[in-house]
Homo-oligomer: A and B are copies of this chain.
Amino acid sequence: MVSEYRLRRRVLFYEADPAGIVHFSWFFRYMEEAEHALWREAGMSIAPRRSEFAFPRITAAFEYHSPLRFEEEFDIHIRVAAMTEKTMRYACEVTRDQTRIATGSLTIVCARKHGDEMKPESFPPEIAAQFQVAAGAGT
């Protein structure tokens, strides 16, 4: 069972904006990258080809504390903060060495695909069994 993942990443040129700092929208992508790495750590892909399940995002938020610039190395630390029958909430912290860059959260819902529509449904047991709320998270 997994409950957290830490991903090291470098800022790419196209992620920084004319102010010279990473555009705020990228942090949501960074958080998702770490989430997908967490699922791989649990032995799964979050979106295998021809899967009947999908995990749309229902809330996403970030607070920004310090800027991040081109080519800087940073860490994305994602933890499972809460789980219900149909939803999972992550907490995320982005840091560069000892500097806190941004803190965020993401809530996803388990959904079954019906053609190109999706309906919320309980996590299948084989998926739910892989995740555990991180110690000290969600408090």
Q: Which residues of A contact B (CB under 8 A)?
A: 12-14, 16-21, 23-26, 28-29, 32-33, 36, 40, 45-47, 49-50, 54, 56-64, 67, 69-71, 115-116, 118
Contacts and interface: CB of A to CB of B under 8 A. Distances in A.
Given A24-B60, A59-B62, A70 B12 contact: no
- Residue in A28, A63, A69 whose Cβ sees the most chain B Cβ within 10 Å: A28
B70 A47 contact: yes
Nearest to A115: B50
Given A17-B17, A21-B56, 4 more contacts: A13-B33, A13-B36, A16-B18, A24-B32
A61 B59 contact: yes
A47 B18 contact: yes
A135 to B, nearest CB: 26
A45 B19 CA distance: 14
Contact of A56 (B18, B57, B62, B67): B67
A54 to B, nearest CB: 5
Contacts of A19: 47, 54, 56, 118
A33 to B, nearest CB: 6
Nearest 5 pairs between A and B by C-beta? A61-B61, A25-B28, A24-B57, A16-B18, A18-B20
Nearest to A16: B18
